[in-house]
Amino acid sequence: MGSQVLLIEDEPNIIEAITFILSRDGWQVRSHSGGHDAMEVVRARRPDLIILDVMLPGRSGFDLLADIRGDADLAQTPVLMLTARGQRKDREMAERSGASMFMTKPFSNAEMLEAVRSLAARK
Amino acid sequence: MATFTLLVLVCVAYVVLLFGVAFAADRAARRGRGAWLRSPLVYTLSLSIYCTAWTFYGAVGFAARSGLEYVTIYLGPTLVMIGWWWTLRKMVRVGRSQRITSVADMISSRYGKSNTLAVCVTILAVIGATPYIALQLQSVTLSFAAFTPAGPSLQARSEQSIAIYVALGLTLFTILFGTRNLDANERHHGVVIAIALEAVVKLFALLAVGVFVVWGLEGGIAQTLARIDASPIAEFTVTPSRWTALTLLSATAFLCLPRMFQVMVVENEDESHLRTAAWAFPLYLMLISLFVVPIAAVGLDLMPAGTNPDLFVLKLPLLAGQDGLAILSFLGGFSSATSMVIVAAIALSTMVSNHIVMPIWLRATGGAAMMSGDVRHVALLARRLSIGAVVFLGYLYFRMSGGGTALAAIGLIAFAGVAQFLPALMGGLVWRGATRLGALAGLSVGFAFWLYCLLLPSFGAGVILPVRVMEAGLFGQSWLRPYAMFWTGGMDPLVHAVMWSMLLNCAAFCAVSLFTFPRPVERLQGAQFVNVFDHSQRPGSWTGGLGQSEDLLIMSQRILGAAEAQELFARAARRQGLSGYLPEPSPEFLEFLERRLSGSVGAATAHAMVSQIVGRATVSVEDLLAVADETAQIMEYSNRLEAKSTEQARTARQLRVVNEKLTQLSVQKDGFLSQVSHELRTPMTSIRAFSEILLGGDLTPEQLQKYASIIHAESLRLTRLLDDLLDLSVLESGQVVLNVQSGTLAQVLDRAISGAVGGAAGSLNIRRDAASEAVLLQTDIDRLAQVFINLIANARKYCDAAHPVLDIRAERDSTTLTVDFVDNGTGIPIEDEALIFEKFSRLGETRAPGAGLGLAICREIMHRLGGSVAYLPGQGGAAFRVTLPLAPLEPGGGNDLVTKGGLRSVR
């Protein structure tokens, strides 16, 4: 398939795990770990799908999501949000900000794969 | 000779007659008949209670002892009636318009209805009247004794019983006719008529004796005059000082005696009666004193030496065998005594019950009884008991003093006592500047001197005042001798006492009045009293001069407040082209003022108030005062409400602050839980993901190795986090036991460095100064090392320099040790400096460097060790300073919570 997934996440081990899972399924995974410069990376890469962690160093995932949705070129890109805090208000916040899907850490690998596949198909 | 029994029968018959007359008069008055009851003549005759038994018997005795001095007793009232007619009319007018019930009421009313003043006057009046009542009882018993030539023992016994019977009879009569009506201001027609009758009886009796003496015993005027010339009376010289003092005293007493006030002001039916009394009463006095000197002269001549001259009026007819005349004379004396006691008892009981008993009773019952009809019964009972008490006091004084003193002397002492009311009473009528405190001061000073210089010494040296005080003065001070105050020795005791007491009374009254400021109600009452004629003589007229304007200003100040009212009046005055601050009370101004006042108190009240002051009186002054007081109360109430709402606002503000704090705590707690969740879930995510990858198989051995080690590392991270959480919770709850050991700083740092970096320091270059580390510590070495490990590990983790260097520098002074950890990285952004010691110092959705629990734990540990850890800004890189006291830490815990709260945990 060769679709490109951009993973914005600051935990190296979690990047490693998701990259492994998606790569094995045929996805092209790029990752980025900073919050401040993430938007430039998104614009430059024009990924088919974004996996976005809520808590990033320097900038909130929700802010980043709002920027993505505010960008005409990126508005249609599916975004899967991940959070480790697991609170209901985070889920609501994500939906309001325009997240396509919301997942709580820890997740099962199959779940992650399924979510990415369905989001890519939805596009 | 008339027997004792006959005398008693005559007395009883006479009293029954009085009862009958009083009863008939009362009935006629209630039925609205009997216009003659209200004639000026009755009023004039009722004034004759001034002439008591003292005058009846005592005047003759007085003349026999001191010559013409007795005339002064009649001269004073005569001068007042003729010369001070205007003042009397003012007193009567004020008394009627203010519904005055007694002299105490008059004085208290004038000075702002001060009950303190009323109580003072009442007590003083009772003290002053007691010897006087005793005097009447004594005269009656003496006169009985004059008829009974029995043995001394029988005489003494019967004297006592006579006094008791007389006292009881008078009490009964006074209660029956004096307390019929509760309203003290209502006239006692029965009593007044009975007194008028008694006035006729005593005048007739004295004239009859006089005529008998002159024409019966002497055979004509010429012989009598010759006899007088030959008698010692002609040789008495007149002492000017005593004459002046006595005339002044009797004039004063005529105005101030409670019983005189009662008949003159309270019982007054019509102001115009004064016009008649002004000439008729002096005439009465002249008649009653006409034969005093002849009787005295003849008595001195005919009677055996040693006979009490007070009894000449009785003894002379008896000597001549004129029993009928003697009994008539006896009745005259009896009349004088009874009428005085009755009126005095009524006047005093009104004062006692109104100003002492009722206030106490009302206060004791909390005013609850005002609602029911109880108050009427209590007031009546109070008045009746007071009558009994007043007469009983007189009786007691009579028994104590032994009845030995000359009648005139007792009477003068009483006169001097009540004379002390004069400055306050008259001053209040003519001087608006007189104040309550002034009146109180004058009265107190006057009475103190009267008591010390006259009443107490009158009992005789050694009875009440010790002989030593009488001779050497109080406290041995010669200028404090009762009869020679301020070294004015050699004076007549009476003149001396009157002079000092009145002089100092007036001085105190004036001085204190000048230096104190009257309260609004005092000023208003003062104006009402002083300007009583102005107020009541201009019905229907709106123009009243500046005096009225001042009253209006006083009233307005109470309603609008001082500043606003003065401003308003001054502005109106300017508009009228006047220079002062008081405008003319023109109709325009009055209307304007009414409108202005009605904004505060309502239109009807405002109109009533203005009308009252400018003379269209339809409202009583009391009503007016009540209205003004109500306004003041309303203002006070609204002030209280305001204060209350301020209070509530303050409470609300405090509640808000507390609520904010709680909300903040709650947010912090939520934030903390959310952070804990995040910190736990992050390693869990890696562990779960890689576990599933491992379970899926199909991995290279390198991958297997790598992913297993990730799982292992994340497990360790999870364990560390849980350890930290537990550690922090123990530290924060204070349930920590410190393990105090000794060791040098160098040892602790060695341990910390090896704990933080493992065997090798890696890329981090740690620089130390061995010399400064040779400090012996007495503290929890393990905990201190834990802090150091945290700081070194942070430097190692976060120092972003190409060649990271950590400088550890120790410094000490006499009490504290500081250890600084400074690296050469970029340090911590200023905005995060305040946050780094907070648990998971990540706010919102962003993460600050150094996040976690490490620094929060360090802070808690240092706090327990009695020191601190702080971030040092501006050191180039990240810099932390640990401060520790050098004093050995108390084993078991150096923190306040543990020792104070007794929360030592048991491990």
Min distance A97 CA to chain B CA atoms (Å): 14
Query: Are the beta carbons of A50 and A79 closer than 8 angstroms?
Result: yes
Pick B568 or B897 by higher pLDDT: B568
Is the complex ipTM more than 0.90?
yes
> What does the alpha-carbon distance between residue A51 and residue B629 come to, in Å, rounded to a whole number?
81
**Helix, strand, coil content of chain B in percent (nearest 5):** 70, 5, 25
Task: Give yes or no for A14 touching B (CB within 8 A).
Answer: yes
Q: Which residues contact B405 (CB under 8 A, 6 or more apart)?
A: B458
CA A19, chain centre distance (Å): 12
Residue B366: HSE in the Cβ half-sphere, 13 Å Cα cutoff: 1
Token pair 């005080």 in the structure block, residue: B469
Residue A80 Cα distances to A7, A70, A102, B187, angstroms:
9, 17, 6, 107
Put simply, the answer to whether B847 touches A62 (Cβ < 8 Å) is no
CA B222, chain centre distance (Å): 67
Helix (H, G, I), strand (E, B) or coil at B618: coil
Interface of B with A in 707-726 (CB under 8 A): 710, 713-714
Same domain assignment for residues B477 and B547: no
B677: which chain A residues are within 8 Å (Cβ-Cβ)? 84-87
Residue B340: its pLDDT value, please? 85
Res B760 pLDDT > 70: no
> What does the alpha-carbon distance between residue B289 and residue B56 come to, in Å, rounded to a whole number?
9
Question: How long, in residues, is chain A?
Answer: 123
Q: Which residues contact B735 (CB under 8 A, 6 or more apart)?
A: B898, B903, B905
B840: which chain A residues are within 8 Å (Cβ-Cβ)? none
Domain count, chain A: 1
Residue B799 inside a domain? The answer is yes
Residue B249: its pLDDT value, please? 85
A18: which chain B residues are within 8 Å (Cβ-Cβ)? 689
> What does the alpha-carbon distance between residue B158 and residue B420 come to, in Å, rounded to a whole number?
37
- Please identify, among B670, B697, B724, the residue that sits at the C-terminal boundary of a domain: B724
Query: Which stretches of B31-102 are DSSP H helices?
Result: 40-46, 53, 59-66, 71-83, 85-97
* Poorest-pLDDT segment among A104-108, B217-221, B276-280, B719-723: B217-221
Same domain assignment for residues B702 and B747: no
Res. B759 pLDDT band, cuts 50 70 90? low
Min distance A16 CA to chain B CA atoms (Å): 9
Residue B156: its pLDDT value, please? 54
Pick B34 or B327 by higher pLDDT: B327
B849: which chain A residues are within 8 Å (Cβ-Cβ)? 57
Element (H, E) at B807: strand B805-812
**CB atoms inside a 10 Å sphere around CB B160:** 15
Residue B518 inside a domain? The answer is no
Residue B647: its pLDDT value, please? 81
> What does the alpha-carbon distance between residue B323 and residue B321 come to, in Å, rounded to a whole number?
6
Residue A7: its pLDDT value, please? 93
Most confident of A11-25, B399-413, B476-490, B713-727: A11-25
Element (H, E) at B817: strand B816-823
Put simply, the answer to whether B690 touches A59 (Cβ < 8 Å) is no
Residue B717 Cα distances to B202, B673, B679, B713, angstroms:
126, 18, 9, 6
A101-109 average pLDDT score: 89
The percent of residues above 90 in pLDDT, for chain A, comes to 36
Query: For B430-442, what is each residue's pLDDT tens digit?
Result: 887 788 888 889 9
Q: Which of B681, B692, B714 sits opposite A105 (nearest CB)?
A: B681
B320-334 average pLDDT score: 83
Put simply, the answer to whether B846 touches A55 (Cβ < 8 Å) is yes
Residue B636 inside a domain? The answer is no
> What does the alpha-carbon distance between residue A68 and residue A61 come to, in Å, rounded to a whole number?
10
- Residue B661 sits in a domain of what CATH number? 1.10.287.130
* Poorest-pLDDT segment among B750-759, B830-839, B885-894: B885-894
B777-796 average pLDDT score: 88
Does this model's pTM top 0.80? My answer is no
Task: Give yes or no for A114 touching B (CB within 8 A).
Answer: no
Put simply, the answer to whether A17 touches B689 (Cβ < 8 Å) is yes
Residue B857 inside a domain? The answer is yes
Query: For B148-158, what is each residue's pLDDT tens digit?
Result: 664 444 455 56
Query: Are the beta carbons of B137 and B164 closer than 8 angstroms?
Result: no
Put simply, the answer to whether B688 touches A56 (Cβ < 8 Å) is no
Put simply, the answer to whether B847 touches A57 (Cβ < 8 Å) is yes
Put simply, the answer to whether A18 touches B692 (Cβ < 8 Å) is no
Residue B68: its pLDDT value, please? 78
Put simply, the answer to whether B710 touches A13 (Cβ < 8 Å) is yes
Q: CA nearest A109 in B: which residue? A: B689
Res B197 pLDDT > 50: yes
Min distance B721 CA to chain A CA atoms (Å): 15
Put simply, the answer to whether A108 touches B692 (Cβ < 8 Å) is yes
> What does the alpha-carbon distance between residue B424 and residue B410 come to, in Å, rounded to a whole number?
24
Q: b or e along B265-302 (b: 16 or more beta carbons within 10 Å of the residue's beta carbon)? A: bbbbbeeebbeebbebbbebbeebbebbbbbbbbbbeb
Domain limits for position A80: 4-122
Same domain assignment for residues B337 and B234: yes
Res B854 pLDDT > 90: no
Query: Are the beta carbons of B121 and B356 closer than 8 angstroms?
Result: no
Query: Are the beta carbons of A18 and A29 closer than 8 angstroms?
Result: yes
Same domain assignment for residues B480 and B581: no
Query: For B21-62, what is each residue's pLDDT tens digit?
Result: 888 887 887 776 666 667 888 888 888 888 887 778 878 887
Q: Which residues contact B52 (CB under 8 A, 6 or more apart)?
A: B132, B135, B136, B336, B337, B339, B340, B411
Domain limits for position B586: 538-619
Q: Which amino acid is at B835?
A: L
Element (H, E) at B810: strand B805-812
Pick the residue of A62, A109, A112 with the most B CBs within 10 A to test the interface with B by mutation.
A109
Residue B52 Cα distances to B81, B255, B256, B716, B776, angstroms:
18, 16, 16, 120, 109
Same domain assignment for residues B671 and B600: no
Q: Which amino acid is at B92?
A: V
β-partners of residue B811 are: B818
> What does the alpha-carbon distance between residue B560 and residue B73 come to, in Å, rounded to a whole number?
53
Task: Give yes or no for B689 touching A (CB within 8 A).
Answer: yes
> What does the alpha-carbon distance between residue B450 and residue B469 come to, in Å, rounded to a whole number?
16
Put simply, the answer to whether B696 touches A56 (Cβ < 8 Å) is no
- Please identify, among B596, B619, B642, the residue that sits at the C-terminal boundary of a domain: B619
Res B252 pLDDT > 50: yes
Interface of A with B in 94-113 (CB under 8 A): 104-110
Same domain assignment for residues B711 and B795: no
Most confident of B356-365, B671-680, B721-730, B750-759: B721-730
Task: Give yes or no for A84 touching B (CB within 8 A).
Answer: yes
Most confident of B521-535, B581-595, B802-816, B843-857: B802-816
Put simply, the answer to whether A84 touches B845 (Cβ < 8 Å) is no
Res B538 pLDDT > 70: no
B715: which chain A residues are within 8 Å (Cβ-Cβ)? none
Put simply, the answer to whether A16 touches B681 (Cβ < 8 Å) is no
Put simply, the answer to whether B846 touches A56 (Cβ < 8 Å) is yes
Res B606 pLDDT > 60: yes
Read out DSSP for B552-594?
HHHHHHHHH-HHHHHHHHHHHHHHTT-SSS-----HHHHHHHH
Res A55 pLDDT > 50: yes
- Please identify, among B619, B643, B668, the residue that sits at the C-terminal boundary of a domain: B619
The percent of residues above 90 in pLDDT, for chain B, comes to 4
Same domain assignment for residues B671 and B695: yes
> What does the alpha-carbon distance between residue B384 and residue B364 come to, in Å, rounded to a whole number?
20
Put simply, the answer to whether B846 touches A106 (Cβ < 8 Å) is no
Q: Which of B675, B681, B686 sits opposite A17 (nearest CB)?
A: B686
Task: Give yes or no for B687 touching A (CB within 8 A).
Answer: yes
Residue B843: its pLDDT value, please? 42
Read out DSSP for chain A?
---EEEEE-S-HHHHHHHHHHHHHTT-EEEEE--STTHHHHHHHH--SEEEEESSEESS-HHHHHHHHHHSTTTTTS-EEEEESS--HHHHHHHHHHT-SEEEESS--HHHHHHHHHHHHHH-
Residue B588 Cα distances to B264, B506, B528, B558, B575, angstroms:
42, 43, 24, 22, 11
Residue B471: its pLDDT value, please? 67
Query: For B505-520, what is each residue's pLDDT tens digit?
Result: 999 999 888 888 776 6
Same domain assignment for residues B472 and B353: no
Put simply, the answer to whether B845 touches A56 (Cβ < 8 Å) is yes
- Residue B399 sits in a domain of what CATH number? 1.20.1730.10
> What does the alpha-carbon distance between residue B678 and residue B680 come to, in Å, rounded to a whole number?
5
Pick the residue of B672, B709, B841, B845 with the most A CBs within 10 A to test the interface with A by mutation.
B845
Min distance B680 CA to chain A CA atoms (Å): 8
Query: Are the beta carbons of B587 and B572 closer than 8 angstroms?
Result: no
Same domain assignment for residues B350 and B453: no
Q: Which of A13, A18, A55 sits opposite B845 (nearest CB)?
A: A55
Interface of B with A in 640-679 (CB under 8 A): 674-675, 677-679
> What does the alpha-carbon distance between residue A68 and residue A82 come to, in Å, rounded to a whole number?
16
Residue B196 inside a domain? The answer is yes
Domain count, chain B: 5
Put simply, the answer to whether A109 touches B692 (Cβ < 8 Å) is yes
**CB atoms inside a 10 Å sphere around CB B326:** 26
Query: Are the beta carbons of B548 and B613 closer than 8 angstroms?
Result: yes
Residue B142: its pLDDT value, please? 78
Element (H, E) at B130: helix B115-147
Put simply, the answer to whether A17 touches B690 (Cβ < 8 Å) is yes
B479-487 average pLDDT score: 66
Residue A91: its pLDDT value, please? 80
Residue B689: its pLDDT value, please? 93
Q: CA nearest B710 in A: which residue? A: A13
Put simply, the answer to whether A14 touches B689 (Cβ < 8 Å) is yes
B689: which chain A residues are within 8 Å (Cβ-Cβ)? 14, 17-18, 21, 106-107, 109
Res. B755 pLDDT band, cuts 50 70 90? confident
Q: CA nearest B695 in A: which residue? A: A109
Query: For A27-49, what is each residue's pLDDT tens digit?
Result: 999 999 877 788 888 888 889 99
Number of Cβ pairs closer than 8 Å across A and B? Answer: 83
* Mean model confidence pLDDT for chain B: 77
> What does the alpha-carbon distance between residue B470 and residue B854 come to, in Å, rounded to a whole number?
96
Query: Which stretches of B738-821 are DSSP H helices?
Result: 745-757, 781-798
Question: How long, in residues, is chain B?
Answer: 907
Res A20 pLDDT > 90: yes
Q: Which residues contact B658 (CB under 8 A, 6 or more apart)?
A: none
Most confident of B82-96, B130-144, B536-550, B694-708: B694-708
Q: CA nearest A104 in B: which residue? A: B681
> What does the alpha-carbon distance between residue B729 and residue B476 come to, in Å, rounded to a whole number?
84
Query: Are the beta carbons of B690 and A17 closer than 8 angstroms?
Result: yes
Residue B304 inside a domain? The answer is yes
Residue B106 inside a domain? The answer is yes
Same domain assignment for residues B480 and B577: no
Read out DSSP for B642-688?
HHHHHHHHHHHHHHHHHHHHHHHHHHHHHHHHHHHHHHHHHHHHHHH
The residue among A95, A107, A51 whose CA lies nearest residue A77 is A51
Same domain assignment for residues B718 and B741: no
Q: CA nearest A83 in B: which residue? A: B678
> What does the alpha-carbon distance between residue B23 and residue B9 come to, in Å, rounded to a whole number?
21
Min distance B733 CA to chain A CA atoms (Å): 26
Query: Are the beta carbons of B484 and B452 closer than 8 angstroms?
Result: no
Same domain assignment for residues B311 and B446: no
- Residue A11 sits in a domain of what CATH number? 3.40.50.2300
A14: which chain B residues are within 8 Å (Cβ-Cβ)? 682, 685-686, 689
Query: For B108-158, what is each residue's pLDDT tens digit?
Result: 878 877 778 888 888 888 888 888 888 888 888 878 777 766 444 445 556
Residue B88: its pLDDT value, please? 84
> What does the alpha-carbon distance between residue B703 and residue A24 come to, in Å, rounded to a whole number?
13
Query: Are the beta carbons of B1 and B323 closer than 8 angstroms?
Result: yes
Q: CA nearest B676 in A: which residue? A: A85
Res B370 pLDDT > 50: no
* Mean model confidence pLDDT for chain A: 87
